[in-house]
């Protein structure tokens, strides 16, 4: 895995030495993504510079060095990721007369671009990638990101340069001062707990969307921030709706056993292709369905025990380490586990802003970083089970949202709006007092205030569509524009679903929306930054292109039965692991942060939330606002956050 960076100088011309020095400064900020090697390339005439840091995985020789030149010399490439079908692509290119110096997938990708052009190469390449390609002949800079959004690309403008990089820290390396905070992005953070592409926390800096690529003539680039002017150069190599539509047009017609066998075949191929590496590899094992099936298939492919890693907590409600240990013992893996204390978590927290660069309100970033660091002690590559929930209907919120939709939308909208108005006429505090006598019967003994819950229900009653219901149900803030000073909530996939739902099935609509929002912007962002901070490459077999296509062909009753998701995956896993080891309520990869904030971390948190400090930031409107128990993928409350009078 690697880090890419670079820029086009749009101001006063500078020397090649200065271009190289600036590109090196950007690349140096990404050394954690690529501690093994690095390099820069400059085209002084075009004022273009590329920087690179390498984590050597395949072809450890100098033949894998980047920036890499194509055989003709026309293209220069910096590439972050892995192409899992590169051997197949290479054979086809060799049959057409292409010769290769080494055996890296980067060289194969470059040859594919030269032979077929970038759009076709992106369509044929199966893997995870982020790249920057300089075309010397056409004087065009292309940026691209993989189908599902495994690898990141930031881009934008900084001091009369068009800049790009794997992380914000590289993009900002050349700035004389930190960019202004994007207040519109703050509204999205308060709604979703993450900032979705194309927005970033900074004004003038953007994220490439998943499956998107830009091909930019350098002469046409504006010297200052102008996102709209790039629209004509924006393209997509794939859409989730493509897979959904193809699956609907070619539905799976076999029985359960046939589907189990066919799913096993595509998963075996996906796992096998991700076990290709010239360095040690292992698996991140939580003991859940997804990571267990990946570990089981890895072990079936290996003649030696696969190295597996998990972490645990003393709090039993959050601890899956015991389940992971049982699964590992049954499979015969070489298992390593670590129990994390509040003190160890506290030691990680101060470094999170440096790791993530922009806010991500997902507490599982802490254990993800810790388990990545644990794994990196023994391996350089680890496979994970990410993607199973979105493809096989694994989130418990799908079932809850469907039940709520059936209940709420049974009422005509005028009646729903009237009921919502009646609830909202009574302040939340008065509802709390009125219902106080119910305290012992309420969740957590009444510590979750019923008034907030009723006002949340009122907002849901006012939803016009089922998609709006799903968004608002799992929004952390119902109306973030009232909280962020001078902030306006911009459109996202929930408000402009051009890449969204293509089915009338509500569960499938939610799965598609999660695949284009929550998966790339939260889950995969978390895994990328946390693992790369530990110089660990994480690969996701369940997000293989063929697995995605197959999953979308399956009928819904192969994915969920009753209130249980991932049904077919479970049937497959039972061939490797006893049912009793994996059949339990979904927990997710959470940490007991609520308990820690009430005990060991309380003083630290109260200092951060000091009213005076918050007021000085100038981002928040005065008045009381609260997050009334937003839900995680496990269905448990994440807690309430009060900003007081800021």
288 vs 500: which has the higher pLDDT: 288
What residues pair up with 234 in beta bridges, in sequence order?
214
**Edge-to-edge strand order for the sheet containing 2-9?**
37-43, 48-54, 2-9, 161-165, 154-157, 205-207
Q: Which of 478-482's residues contact partners 24+ apart within 8 Å by CB, and which partners?
A: 480/186, 480/187, 480/188, 480/190, 480/191, 481/187, 482/621, 482/623, 482/625
SS3 string, 550-588, reads HHHHCCHHHCCECCECCHHHHHHHCCCCCHHHHCCCCCC
Residue 424: alpha-carbon gap to chain centroid: 36
Which tokens belong to 341?
């204390």
* Whether the predicted pLDDT of 314 surpasses 80: no
Residues 400 and 465: their CA atoms lie apart, in Å, by: 16
pLDDT digits (tens, 9 = 90+) for 517-531: 999 999 999 999 999
Q: Pick from 293, 323, 325, 296: which is nearest to 309 by CA?
A: 325
pLDDT digits (tens, 9 = 90+) for 568-607: 999 999 999 999 888 866 655 667 777 778 887 788 888 8
Whether 237 is catalytic is no
* Whether the predicted pLDDT of 216 surpasses 60: yes
CATH code: domain 241-393+519-582 is 3.40.50.620
Output phi, psi for 361, to 5 deg. -90, 65
pLDDT digits (tens, 9 = 90+) for 356-407: 999 999 989 999 999 999 999 999 999 999 999 999 999 999 999 999 899 8
Domain ranges in the chain? 2-238, 241-393+519-582, 396-511
Model confidence band, residue 34 (pLDDT cutoffs 50, 70, 90) = very high
Which tokens belong to 556?
């819904």
**Edge-to-edge strand order for the sheet containing 68-69?**
68-69, 75-83, 127-135, 140-145, 212-217, 234-236
Residues 230 and 89: their CA atoms lie apart, in Å, by: 31
pLDDT digits (tens, 9 = 90+) for 625-637: 433 333 333 232 3
The reply to whether 2-238 and 241-393+519-582 are identical in fold is: no
* Whether the predicted pLDDT of 622 surpasses 50: yes
What residues pair up with 83 in beta bridges, in sequence order?
127
Rg, Å, the chain Cα set: 25
Which tokens belong to 250?
């070619």
Q: Which CATH class is domain 2-238?
A: alpha beta
Q: Contact at 8 Å (CB) between 537 and 380?
A: yes
């Amino acid at each position: 895995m690697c880090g890419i960076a670079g820029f086009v100088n749009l101001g006063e011309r500078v020397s090649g030495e200065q271009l190289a020095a600036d590109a090196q400064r950007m690349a140096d900020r990404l050394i954690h993504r690529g501690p093994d090697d690095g390099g820069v390339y400059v085209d002084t005439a075009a004022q273009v510079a590329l920087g690179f840091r390498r984590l050597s995985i395949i072809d450890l020789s100098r033949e894998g060095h980047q920036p890499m030149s194509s055989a003709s010399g026309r293209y220069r490439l910096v590439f972050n990721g892995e192409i899992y079908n590169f051997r197949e692509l290479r054979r086809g290119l060799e049959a057409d007369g292409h010769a290769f110096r080494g055996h890296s997938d980067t060289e194969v990708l470059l040859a594919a671009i030269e032979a077929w052009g970038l759009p076709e190469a992106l369509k044929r390449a199966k893997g995870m990638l982020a790249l920057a390609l300089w075309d010397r002949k056409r004087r065009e800079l292309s940026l691209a990101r993989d189908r599902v959004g495994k690898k990141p690309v930031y881009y934008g403008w900084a001091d009369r340069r068009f800049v790009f990089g794997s992380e914000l820290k590289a993009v900002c390396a050349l700035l004389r001062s930190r960019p202004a905070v994007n207040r519109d992005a703050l509204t999205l953070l308060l709604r979703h707990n993450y900032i979705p592409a194309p927005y970033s926390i900074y004004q003038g800096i953007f994220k490439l969307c998943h499956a998107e690529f830009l091909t930019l003539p350098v002469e046409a680039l504006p010297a200052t921030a102008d996102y709209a002017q790039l629209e004509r150069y924006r393209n997509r190599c794939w859409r989730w709706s493509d897979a959904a539509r193809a699956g609907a047009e070619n539905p799976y017609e076999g029985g359960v056993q046939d589907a189990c066998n066919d799913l096993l075949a595509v998963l075996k191929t996906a796992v096998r292709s991700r076990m290709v590496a010239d360095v040690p590899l292992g698996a991140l094992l939580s003991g859940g369905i997804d990571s267990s099936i990946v570990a089981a298939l890895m072990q079936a492919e290996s003649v030696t025990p696969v190295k597996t890693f998990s972490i645990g907590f003393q709090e039993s409600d959050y601890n899956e380490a015991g389940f992971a240990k049982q699964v590992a013992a049954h499979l015969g893996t070489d298992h390593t586990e670590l129990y994390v204390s509040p003190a160890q978590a506290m030691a990680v927290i101060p470094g999170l802003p440096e790791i993530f660069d922009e806010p991500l309100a997902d507490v599982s970033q802490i254990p993800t970083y810790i388990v990545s660091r644990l794994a990196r002690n023994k391996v350089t590559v680890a496979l994970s089970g990410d993607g199973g929930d979105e493809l096989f209907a694994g989130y418990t919120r799908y079932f809850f949202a469907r039940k709520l939709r059936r209940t709420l939308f049974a009422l005509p909208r005028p009646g729903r709006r009237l009921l919502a108005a009646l609830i909202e006429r009574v302040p939340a505090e008065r509802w709390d007092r009125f219902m106080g006598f119910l305290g012992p019967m309420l969740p957590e003994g009444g510590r979750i205030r019923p008034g907030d819950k009723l006002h949340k229900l009122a907002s849901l009653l006012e939803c016009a569509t089922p998609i709006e219901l799903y968004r608002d149900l799992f929004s952390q803030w119902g109306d973030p524009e009232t909280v962020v000073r001078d902030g306006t909530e911009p459109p996202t996939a929930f408000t402009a679903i051009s890449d969204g739902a293509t089915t009338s099935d509500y569960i499938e609509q939610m799965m598609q929306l999660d695949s284009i929002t929550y998966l790339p912007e939260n889950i995969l962002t978390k895994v990328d930054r946390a693992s790369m901070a530990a110089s660990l490459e994480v690969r996701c077999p369940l997000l293989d292109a063929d697995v995605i296509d197959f999953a979308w062909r399956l009928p819904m009753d192969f994915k969920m039965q009753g209130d249980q998701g991932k049904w077919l995956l479970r049937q497959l896993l039972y061939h490797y692991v006893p049912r009793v080891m994996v059949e339990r309520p979904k927990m997710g990869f959470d940490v007991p942060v609520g308990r820690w904030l009430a005990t060991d971390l309380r003083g630290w948190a109260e200092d951060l939330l000091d009213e005076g400090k918050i007021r000085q930031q100038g981002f928040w409107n005065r008045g009381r606002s609260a997050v009334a128990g937003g839900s995680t993928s496990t269905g448990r409350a994440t807690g309430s956050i009060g900003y007081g009078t800021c």
